[in-house]
Structure 1
């Protein structure tokens, strides 16, 4: 892909001068994709947990939804695992 851009931009500037710019753009793009993947993973985990809780215990209070939506990945992983054996919502969120 880098070569395709180099070829199109080569008449404007020498390839050596644009290569660092193109590499920087690629790195920034990679970081954005990684960030997007992580955000997507968090959204999926939050959605799964909410669906599991609703199926198991009924409608979720706003406070519970807020807690889920502000949780980090490691907490979500623990809570998702606890849904299987939990007898109440409190069992899932215990410290």
Structure 2
């Protein structure tokens, strides 16, 4: 019989790889890429919090990581809003990086 913490670690690793797979394969929209990055970070946070709690160490490192993930998400959403306002959509193929 599998241990519960081992099962949670397995699910968090599966979450990370599913997020990575969706980031690599579904790159048509910027919003899909941002959501898959957030899903990978959620899996990483879950894995890190399970490992830190099993060791018995302080959880402050996980909270610091969660703070950085929230800042990354806010930066990604602000870039998405800026791109949609300037280009009209979030398709990667419609971006022309040579124009300013």
Question: What TM-score comes out, normalization by structure 1 length?
Answer: 0.36
Question: What TM-score comes out, normalization by structure 2 length?
Answer: 0.35
